[in-house]
């Protein structure tokens, strides 16, 4: 189910965008939850509190916080979310593309262009969401999108997934229920083989990292985007540098 946020300080236009979006998604038979905001700061507060959005439709000109500034802040918190700018002013089009916004929609062309943009966005999100790791046991069946896995750690006979997902679904009731982790009774080697993705790398016997979330390397540590530092095996460091360099060149 897709989580979609719509933010526009003009109530009538907000309702129109919501109506078009809802109608388009129903025709595509896409299950979604739409959340609307007339204040960009309230949208940002919700995201900071842990609310996730797959897609956001943002007005550019709003009081207190502009759509441009809001987009920058959202991208820092939800780097994989897609954003569509809606505005009455063509002068913002170049800036919108410079910000790597998914699509730019003039307000006077909502009916013509928004449905197409939504269709393309949903198609892209569906492709992204198919890349997942499935946790299956007697007690649960859960899908973890690969893009949301920060790293995987060995803990005794268990593999612990550290993710960007909010909430805790570990099978151990004694664990901190606020940390976004998932624990399964498998070796790291078993998990690595099941991932089937070149985005993951064994940096040390006890850690697998997602290259998507690596921001840098020091002499002894792998530094993730959330500022987590993980030890790197010195024997694997040269190969890891090569692999990360190739990944950055191909993906970034």
**CATH class entry, domain 2-130:** alpha beta
The greatest distance separating any two alpha carbons of the chain, rounded to the nearest whole angstrom, comes to: 61
Cα–Cα distance for residue pair 219/104, rounded to 1 Å: 43
pLDDT in 10s for each residue of the chain, 252 residues: 789 999 999 999 999 999 999 999 999 888 889 999 999 999 999 998 888 898 999 988 887 787 788 888 888 888 778 999 988 765 555 555 555 678 888 888 999 999 999 999 998 887 766 678 888 766 667 778 888 899 999 999 999 999 986 443 444 443 443 448 889 999 999 999 988 888 999 999 999 999 989 999 998 999 998 899 999 999 999 999 999 999 888 765
pTM of this structure: 0.56
Cα–Cα distance for residue pair 24/122, rounded to 1 Å: 10
CA 248 from chain center: how many Å? 18
Q: Quick check: do 2-130 and 135-251 share a fold? A: no
Q: Which residue has the tokens 């990292």?
A: 209
What's the pLDDT at 30? Answer: 87
For residue 12, CA distances in Å to 21, 24, 38, 41, 218 come to 14, 18, 10, 19, 52
For residue 111, CA distances in Å to 18, 23, 118, 120, 200 come to 12, 11, 11, 15, 42
Cα-based angle 100, 38, 51 (whole degrees, multiple of 5)? 65
CA 48 from chain center: how many Å? 14
The CATH homologous superfamily to which domain 135-251 belongs is LytTr DNA-binding domain (2.40.50.1020)
> Residue 209 in contact with residue 217, Cβ under 8 Å?
no
What's the pLDDT at 166? Answer: 47
Query: Where in the chain are the domains?
Result: 2-130, 135-251
Q: Which residue has the tokens 């003039």?
A: 106
Closest by CA to 167, choosing from 33, 54, 52, 45, is 52
């Amino acid at each position: 189910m897709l989580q979609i946020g719509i933010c526009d300080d003009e109530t009538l236009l907000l309702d129109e965008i919501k109506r078009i979006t809802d109608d388009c998604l129903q025709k595509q038979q896409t299950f979604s939850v739409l959340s609307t905001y007339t204040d960009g700061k309230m949208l940002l507060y919700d995201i900071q509190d842990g609310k996730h959005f797959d897609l956001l439709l943002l007005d550019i000109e709003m009081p207190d916080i502009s759509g441009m500034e809001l987009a920058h802040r959202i991208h820092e918190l939800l780097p994989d979310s897609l954003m569509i700018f809606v505005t009455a002013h063509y002068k913002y089009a170049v800036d919108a593309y410079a910000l790597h916004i998914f699509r730019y929609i003039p307000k006077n062309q909502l009916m013509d262009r928004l449905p197409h943009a939504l269709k393309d966005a949903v198609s892209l999100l569906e492709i992204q969401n198919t890349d997942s790791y499935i946790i299956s046991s007697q007690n649960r069946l859960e899908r973890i999108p690969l893009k949301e896995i920060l790293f995987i750690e060995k803990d005794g006979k268990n593999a612990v997934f550290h993710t960007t997902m909010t909430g805790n679904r570990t099978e151990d009731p004694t664990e901190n229920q606020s940390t976004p982790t998932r624990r399964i009774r498998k070796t790291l080697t078993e998990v690595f083989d099941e991932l089937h993705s070149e985005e993951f790398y064994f940096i040390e016997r006890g850690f697998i990292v997602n290259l998507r979330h690596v921001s840098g390397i020091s002499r002894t540590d792998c530094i993730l985007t959330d500022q987590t530092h993980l030890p790197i095996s010195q024997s694997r460091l040269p190969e890891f540098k090569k692999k990360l360099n190739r990944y950055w060149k191909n993906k970034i």
